[in-house]
Structure formats: structure tokens, C-alpha cells
Structure 1
Amino acid sequence: MTVIKQQDFIDSIYEALQYISYYHPVDFVRGLKKAYDREQNPAAKSAIAQILVNSKMCAIGHRPLCQDTGIVTCFVKIGRNVTFEGDMLVQDMVNEGCRRAYCSSENPLRKSVLKDPAGNRVNTRDNTPAVTHIEFIEGDKVVVEIAAKGGGSENKTKMAMLNPSDSIEDWVLDQLPHMGAGWCPPGMLGIGIGGTAEKAALMAKEALMEPIDIDDLIRKGAETAEEKLRLSLYDKVNRLGIGAQGLGGLTTVMDVKVKSFPTHAASKPVCMIPNCAATRHVSFELDGTGPVDLVPPSLDEWPDIEVGGSDNARRVNLDTVTKEEMATWKSGETLLLNGTILTGRDAAHKKICDLIAEGKPLPDGVDFHGKFIYYVGPVDPVGDEVVGPAGPTTSTRMDKFVETMLSKTGLYGMIGKADRGPAAVASIKNHKAVYLMAVGGAAYLVSKAIKKARVLAFPELGMEAVYEFEVQDMPVMVAVDSEGSNVHVNGPAEWREKILAIDFKYLE
């Protein structure tokens, strides 16, 4: 009988969550380098370069890959010949390790978990509870698979109860274009098929724990229905031309994973969950000899590349910018931002718009006139940092607030990630505003452009408070210009056609 000490298990969860916060899986780094090498769209190639440079910076500096350090999902598989020493339940041990990891003083992680989700939505301040799944298996070891999943990619989950004769492939290809770029491609897709609705979702999530091995499958050839589906979707999804960050390009997914389970004769449950460019997961075993010992990957695994793209970039002074100057910015153009920006996410937008609707003034110091708002919830700083990793959050969640913000506050523009909906784009065009895009998955890199930071309002919201940032040469792309030209529409459409023309071979 193997005895696992309670403290060893807690320490292992802590170490694993810290480890994945700053180390991409090596297979992911290799897959991203392959995507970088073959990418022909300069904008997408630049985005992938930023993600790779950010990844190496985080591996060296031991700081989070993304400001959204995720909600924790943990699969614990307990051998039948294992017992635990201690009085805590397994899920409580996972939560304690999670609490310690997210509250670390050396590398604090952003606390994003809220209790009372249907009511007051109050931050738990320690990112617990984790979502824990427990299974009993043969053997005398404990196998743990743990991930920290960001909200941007998790929110793009798609589920359906298909008819038995319906095509899973057709359903996936229909859904993907509607997912936008909020899941921060390039990443991977986890697809669960069969069982019941909740089983399909569980399999899709667990599939994302598997390594990227699509090239091995291509060389071997498909032997099962699941493998055939993987290869077909890998090819056809990439031919959609969505590309890195939704800018259009040759790589949208680096792998497609499929897990299945027997199901009812009348049913075909399907769930698809994407993993983003900040993929974070690790698997390990405990055998009673102590806590996990996770070996850092060699820095030689990361390519030496430069971000580039700034030679022809336009430097902008946000403290003196005018609508006339903004009208000269064109969709797809790179800007380097300098000056003062304010921040605000979901909760702050709701508070601001509620105050406006009630005819009440905004908090002291909060003045959006002639300013840009950055959709971000930063990680707490450590050492001499001004702010921790501070990459953009998914902008579509703020779409419903755009008209109020542009018409009532004097706001000039917005900075975020991914696409905007038709109503938001129409509002941007009507007010001659602009929407700028920073690269999701490059949070530590972006934070280096922030030279000063202070909380202006709503400190009770934690990472969702309104900050004032002073930035220097913060790289962004004009995603929607003042005429409504939208790079997230134009880019994929252009590259779908180009992929047809160049007859790119994804399965070679």
C-alpha cells in the first residue's frame, strides 16, 4: 500500500501551478515555432513572434505567461492501492495547493475566481475553489493532470446534442468562424464525443491535457475514426484562414484532440473546447516518496527571434492625440503608444455605465475625455515591477458598453484583444473612434511598456479596478479604424483565398 502524505500532495499542487504559470509545455513551444516558420502573413507572424518572445521571457523571469492565470482544473486519478496520510479530503488538498500558488509572494498569480456567480460575483481572493475531478484506477500511484484555463478560451466552448446521423466535422467547421479570436489562436481544440452532455465536456477538457503530436499522426496515418477526424479537422480548420489572433494566416490550430465514450442510441453529444496561446498544463505522478520534482525545460527549446514590426510603426502621443490624427490610422497599421491610458473590464464598465444611467458623476480622477481605455486585469507586481503581466482581455465582452462609453464619456478609443461585434464596430465608425488590438498571450512583454501604474477607482474590484497606466512604445495594431474597416473580418477572408491559391499542404 502506497502512502501519500497530505503535505506532499499540497506541495505538489503548489509547485505544478507555479510551474505552468511561467513554462509553456515544450511541445507547445515547438508547435508554435513551426507555425512561426511557415507563416506568410506578416501580421500573424509578428503576433506569433510576440507570443514566443513573451514565453521565453516568462521562462527566464518566472512570471506569468498571461495576465489571466486561469481557473484551475485538476484531474486526480488514485490507484486502488493508495491511501492518504492526513485528515483533508482530496479536493480540499487541491484547493490548499491552489490557494498557496495564487497567493505566492514570489510569483503572485491573478485571482479570477468569483463566488456567488448568479448574484454578487465576489472575488474569493485566492482563486479557489479549483474544479477537481477524482477517479479511481488500478495501481499504487496517484496521477495528477492539472491546468489553469483562461476565461477567453473557456468562454468559446461549444456544446451540442447532435442527431446520430449529423456530421461532427460539419458542426465544428460551422461553429469555429463564430468563435471569433477571443480564444487567442493559434492553440488547439479538445473535442469530446459521446456519453452524456457533461461527459462530452469532461472529455473535451481532458483531451487538452494531451501533447501536441499531430505530425506523428500524419506520418503514421489514421487508423481509427477519432484519428481520421483529427486529421481532417486539422486540415480543414487551418484552411479557414483565421490565423494567429484572428488576423488571417496559415495556422489557426496546432493540433486537434478527440476523446469518445459510448453513448445512447438516440444521442450524439459533442463538446469543443479551445486552448489558447497561453496553454498551461502538466501531468505528474506521486508514488509516496515525496512531492513532485518538476524539471525545468532547457531554454534551448525556445527559439532566438525578435519581435520586429516596429520599424514602420507610427509613434502616437495619447496625451495630445486628436480625432483628426486618428482618422489617418488605417486598419492593420502598427502603432507604438505613448502617454496615459485608463483601464477597465467587465465589472468596471458596468459600474461606470450604471452611474451614467443614474445621472451620477464618475469617481474622482476618472475622466475618459480624449482618452483610451485598455481592457485589462493585471497581475500584482513583484520586486521593482510597476505592474505584473498585463495583456489584453477579450474585447467582445465589453461590446454592450461601447455606445454608452463613446457617446457619454468623451472616450476616443479602446485597446483589447480579438474581434468586435457588428454593433460595436458600427458605434466605433459613427463616433470616429478606433479599436486597437494588443497581442493576447504576450502579457509579460506588454507589461514592460507600462512605466507607471496607479489605481484610480473601484479598488474593491481587485484586478478589475480602474487603473491609470503611463505607457512607452506599447505595440498595438489598428483593428477597427475610424471608417469601420475591420482587420478581423478582412484578414481571414483574404487568407482563406490565399490558402486556396497557394494549395498549402497541411497534411504533409
Structure 2
Amino acid sequence: MKIQQKHVIESVANALQYISYYHSPDFIQAMVSAHEKETHQSAKNAIAQILINSKMSAIGQRPMCQDTGIVNVFVEVGMDVVWEADLSLEDMINEGVRQAFTNKNNPLRASIVKDPLFSRTNTKDNTPAVIHMKVVLGNKVDFIVAAKGCGSENKAKFAVLQPDDNVTDWVLKMIPTMGAGWCPPGVIGIGVGGSAEKAMLMAKESLMESIDIQDIAQKPNPSHLEKLRLELMEKINNLGIGAQGLGGVSTVLDVKIKDYPSHAASQAVAIIPNCAATRHLHFSLDGLGVAQLPAVDMSVYPDLEMDTSRYKKINLDTLNKAQMNQWQVGDTLLLTGTIITGRDAAHKRLKQMLDSGQGLPKGVDFNNKFIYYVGPVAAVNGEVIGPAGPTTATRMDKFTDTMLQNTGILGMIGKAERGEATIKSIKKHQASYLIAVGGAAYLISKSIKKAKKIAFEEMGMEAIYEFEVKDMPVTVAVDSQGENIHAIFNNLLDR
């Protein structure tokens, strides 16, 4: 049998489409368990939104998260494989990525930029993928195709410890420094040993395994590595970070560890988290055609609805600072009215315009408005907008004081914690910071009733939009008095 080029391309493209809207059953089951155990109301609500969003995405076959990821592919090529192809395997994989991300029925957000040091120009089709290949015995090709969101990828940690240093202590020290931008609850991958790059690769590879920590907990004689996984799982969850950093009992759903022999003088350790949009799929090609992807059992999804009985309805178009001053950290709100979007590149350009005296772009008015940190997926089939969940607000910290001082914005909407200087600026300007649930992008998009680009259209996902929203769910994370729902991270770091 020959492995045909067209089968590789189509299989990779199909896999990326599949994982953009289907969570694996093990992840759904782990999240259902986390929801059932959660006693902290804000965290329980966040997990519920992620589960509702997952089911909506599966039914609508639209991305569960607006960050459709950087593509990671692990390939094991059998030594007896015969190819029928005129492209290299790397080029075949990238063509599959290209076709998946430009699919007209379900276009995925292109997030990859070339020339990362200078122009950072978007490649428009999310290529190239990050590909790891291995030659093994056999006559087939095994693939693991993953789409890794940057909110979690940015939280990777690495250190070379002394040989007698305690890995558990280092991991528990690092977890709070990761904040909530990786969208917990999720899976923590750990690589120990080898060399620097081997440890990082093992941490990433470990995330491709299924969630099985509950099975490990039931084993009568777990291995040393399994005992370490169980210990770390318990200790990380006991930190109380919780879903979206809102507190609670479920920060991680599983802890994965891979190790490798190392130099006697070294102990390389890496951590990489996987977020609430855990997306990976395993398949093989043996020359018999395109890979058959797993059938989806919709019964695995729980029957949940959002409980909005405790939410306050807020009219953004009439909101003023006096009303906003009544909000308290942890309040859950349903926003209706006009919001303006903007994320990293837009903020950088806005600051340049303000600093140079140009003022804001024509048609952009932030006065008495909220700015939403988002880069949405393109709309299809009559949608107002594609999935439009929040991006990590911490990256906008360096622009926040300028925006609050010069644009008249009332506040910001994003995900994860803000830095100490930003919280002081929010208090100074009597603004506020609200969080939407990372991992609930498709659900959030349904609250957006109108959307139009109003500036920087050439910047793709970084363009500025004006949204009209109705009952968009958010939580007050920093109120106008500077109280901060994510203060738990600072408390943990001070221990």
C-alpha cells in the first residue's frame, strides 16, 4: 500500500475542522465532574458556560474558541511506508492546515505571523504548523494533530533545576505565576529530564494523552510517576485558583508527566498548560484512504442552561460612573448596548496616534463605552460575527493608563488578571474591568446582534469593531474602587 499525498492533506484538514468544534469525550466528562464538584458559584457558572458553549459548537460546527490555535503536529512514519506524492510530508501537512483554515463553511481564525521579529505580517492561512517527526518501525503513518491556543501557550514555564531540587515545589511555585490567562480548568503537561528542548517537547507531548487521572486514582499500586501526578493534582487544586481564576476546587483536570534520562548534573523541567479549548486528535494512515474520524456521541454533553437569575441587567448606552460605582467584585452582569473592540496591535497603533497628536481614527469613539479585548472569527452563513471570546487582558496592561486618560472609556472586558499598576489606574480613573469566560466564544457571539469594522480593517483579526450586544454575560473582576477578584494570585505569590 502507498500513502497518497491527497489523503494526508485531506486527513489533516478534516482533523483540524473536527477539533475546532468537537471536544473529546474525556474532556467533556472531566468538565462535567468538575461542574458537579464545584462549590464556588462564580467558578461553577464559568464551567457551565464552557460546557454549554462546547455543545453549541458541536451542534453548530463552529469554533469553540476564537483563538483557533497554532497547529502542532506529531508524526511517526513507519520505515516500510511507500509514498505516492510530489510534496514533502511537511508541505502536505501545511497544505492540510491551509485548506482547514480557509474552509468557506467554517473558516478558522488565521493567527500566525511570519517574520516574528519585525513586520509580523499575518500569513492569512495559519501556516506553517509546528511539526515534529519520528521514524519508527512499521508500514503506517501515525498523526497527532493539535490546535494550541496562545493564551495557554504563553504560560509555558521552564527551568534547569539542581539535581536534588524538588520538582513538586517548583511546579507549585510556578502555577500561580501563570495567572488565569490559560483558561483553567485544563490539563497541565510536565516534562522532566533530557535537555532543555527535550523537556519542553515532552511537556507538549504529554498534553496529547487522554484524561485518565481518575483511573489512576483507583489503581491499587500506582507507579512513582503516577503517585507524583496524583500529588500534584491535589496540591494544585488546593491552591484555590479555580475556573478562570475565580476561585474554587477545580484548577486542573489532569496532570501529565513525561520523563527522560538526563545528565547527572542537570534536571530540566518544563510546564505547558492546555486550556478549556483542549483540541487534539489521533489518526493513522495505512494506504487505504482518508482517515476515518471518531463518531460523535452527543449524549456525552450535559443538559445545562445558563442560570441568569442572579445577573444584573446593564444598559451600556445609559451607564454612568455613579451607577458603575455600585458594582462590586464578583457581581455577574448581562450587558446590553454598544461596545468597541480592540486588542494588541490596535492598542499599539492607537497609542502611537494619541502620542503623535493625531487623535483617534475617524469613526472611533470610546467615550463612555467599554472596550472588549477580542479578535473574532469571521462570520459565515448569515452570522453577525463568528465566535468572539475574550483575549488575555494582561497583554493590554501597558496601554491601559493611556486609554483611560485619553479616550474617556468607562472600562474594559477581557479575560484573566490585571497587573498592579493597571489596577491602580482603574481605581484612579474610577473605571472597571469585567471578565467574560475564556472558552465560551461561540456562546458569547450569540449575544452580539450587530457588528461592523470601524477602523484598521487591513489588520484582519486586529481590526476595531463596533458591537451591539444584548445580554452579554460578564463578571466584575476589578471594581471602580480597585478591588480585585484575582487577588488570590498575589496572595499565593506572597506565601
Question: TM-score, normalized by length of structure 1?
Answer: 0.96
Residue 488 of structure 1 deviates from its aligned partner by: 1.3
Q: Which residue number in structure 1 is paired with residue 325 of structure 2? A: 327
Alpha-carbon distance in 1 for matches of 2:358, 2:162: 52
Q: Choose from 428, 431, 437 the match for 1:430.
A: 428
Residue 312 of structure 1 deviates from its aligned partner by: 2.4
Alpha-carbon distance in 1 for matches of 2:33, 2:42: 16
Q: Which residue number in structure 2 is paired with residue 373 of structure 1? A: 371
Map 1:467-486 to 2 at 5 A.
Answer: 467-486=465-484
Identity of aligned residues (%): 58
Alpha-carbon distance in 1 for matches of 2:22, 2:164: 42
Instruction: Describe the superposition over 1:298-351 as per-residue Cα deviations: whole angstroms up to 9, x where unpaired.
Output: 10000101121x212111111111111110011100111111000000000000
One-letter amino acid of the structure 1 residue matched with residue 386 of structure 2: G
Q: Choose from 394, 401, 414 the match for 1:396.
A: 394
User: Residues 468, 214 of structure 1: CA spacing in aligned structure 2 closer, same or farther, 3 A cutoff?
Assistant: same
Q: Choose from 327, 342, 350 the match for 2:340.
A: 342
Alpha-carbon distance in 2 for matches of 1:91, 1:221: 44
Map 1:262-341 to 2 at 5 A.
Answer: 262-308=261-307, 310-341=308-339
Alpha-carbon distance in 2 for matches of 1:5, 1:142: 11
Q: Choose from 447, 458, 461 the match for 2:459.
A: 461
SS in 2 for 1:220: coil
- Bigger drift between 429-438 and 355-364 goes to 355-364
Alpha-carbon distance in 2 for matches of 1:305, 1:361: 46
Residue 75 of structure 1 deviates from its aligned partner by: 0.3
SS in 1 for 2:486: helix
Q: Which residue number in structure 2 is paired with residue 32 of structure 1? A: 31
Residue 232 of structure 1 deviates from its aligned partner by: 0.8
Alpha-carbon distance in 1 for matches of 2:75, 2:407: 49
SS in 1 for 2:241: coil
Q: Which residue number in structure 1 is paired with residue 100 of structure 2? A: 101
Q: 2:161 matched to 1:201?
A: no
Q: Which residue number in structure 1 is paired with residue 237 of structure 2? A: 238
Q: Choose from 423, 439, 442 the match for 1:444.
A: 442
Is the Cα–Cα contact under 8 Å of residues 7 and 290 in structure 2 kept in the other structure?
A: yes
Alpha-carbon distance in 2 for matches of 1:216, 1:81: 36
Q: 2:226 matched to 1:227?
A: yes
SS in 1 for 2:322: helix
Q: Choose from 407, 415, 418 the match for 1:417.
A: 415
Is the Cα–Cα contact under 8 Å of residues 240 and 492 in structure 1 kept in the other structure?
A: no
Instruction: Describe the superposition over 1:377-415 as per-residue Cα deviations: whole angstroms up to 9, x where unpaired.
Output: 000001010000000000000011110000111111000
Is the Cα–Cα contact under 8 Å of residues 246 and 492 in structure 1 kept in the other structure?
A: no
Residue 139 of structure 1 deviates from its aligned partner by: 1.0
Corresponding pairs, count: 493
Instruction: Describe the superposition over 1:55-86 as per-residue Cα deviations: whole angstroms up to 9, x where unpaired.
Output: 00011110001000000000010011112211
Alpha-carbon distance in 1 for matches of 2:184, 2:263: 34
Is the Cα–Cα contact under 8 Å of residues 69 and 150 in structure 1 kept in the other structure?
A: yes
Q: 2:342 matched to 1:362?
A: no
Q: 2:130 matched to 1:127?
A: no
SS in 2 for 1:487: coil
Is the Cα–Cα contact under 8 Å of residues 379 and 387 in structure 1 kept in the other structure?
A: yes
Residue 493 of structure 1 deviates from its aligned partner by: 6.6
- Bigger drift between 219-228 and 457-466 goes to 219-228
Alpha-carbon distance in 2 for matches of 1:137, 1:221: 34
- Bigger drift between 85-94 and 96-105 goes to 85-94
One-letter amino acid of the structure 2 residue matched with residue 189 of structure 1: I
Instruction: Describe the superposition over 1:170-195 as per-residue Cα deviations: whole angstroms up to 9, x where unpaired.
Output: 00000001110000000000101111
Q: Which residue number in structure 2 is paired with residue 498 of structure 1? A: none
Is the Cα–Cα contact under 8 Å of residues 193 and 260 in structure 2 kept in the other structure?
A: yes
Q: Which residue number in structure 1 is paired with residue 68 of structure 2? A: 69
Q: Which residue number in structure 2 is paired with residue 187 of structure 1? A: 186
One-letter amino acid of the structure 1 residue matched with residue 155 of structure 2: K
Is the Cα–Cα contact under 8 Å of residues 243 and 250 in structure 2 kept in the other structure?
A: yes
SS in 1 for 2:218: helix
Q: Which residue number in structure 2 is paired with residue 164 of structure 1? A: 163
Is the Cα–Cα contact under 8 Å of residues 393 and 417 in structure 2 kept in the other structure?
A: yes
Is the Cα–Cα contact under 8 Å of residues 222 and 231 in structure 1 kept in the other structure?
A: no
Instruction: Describe the superposition over 1:29-60 as per-residue Cα deviations: whole angstroms up to 9, x where unpaired.
Output: 00000000010001100000000000000111
Alpha-carbon distance in 1 for matches of 2:161, 2:432: 40
Alpha-carbon distance in 1 for matches of 2:375, 2:173: 32
One-letter amino acid of the structure 2 residue matched with residue 443 of structure 1: A
Q: Which residue number in structure 2 is paired with residue 118 of structure 1? A: 117
Residue 276 of structure 1 deviates from its aligned partner by: 0.3
Residue 223 of structure 1 deviates from its aligned partner by: 3.7
One-letter amino acid of the structure 1 residue matched with residue 423 of structure 2: V
Residue 222 of structure 1 deviates from its aligned partner by: 5.4
One-letter amino acid of the structure 2 residue matched with residue 116 of structure 1: D
Q: Which residue number in structure 2 is paired with residue 58 of structure 1? A: 57
Instruction: Describe the superposition over 1:103-144 as per-residue Cα deviations: whole angstroms up to 9, x where unpaired.
Output: 000000000000111101110000000001110111111110
One-letter amino acid of the structure 2 residue matched with residue 212 of structure 1: I
Is the Cα–Cα contact under 8 Å of residues 241 and 493 in structure 1 kept in the other structure?
A: no
Is the Cα–Cα contact under 8 Å of residues 241 and 492 in structure 1 kept in the other structure?
A: no
Instruction: Describe the superposition over 1:487-508 as per-residue Cα deviations: whole angstroms up to 9, x where unpaired.
Output: 11259979xxxxxxxxxxxxxx
One-letter amino acid of the structure 1 residue matched with residue 472 of structure 2: M
Is the Cα–Cα contact under 8 Å of residues 241 and 488 in structure 2 kept in the other structure?
A: no
One-letter amino acid of the structure 2 residue matched with residue 398 of structure 1: M
Alpha-carbon distance in 1 for matches of 2:197, 2:489: 36
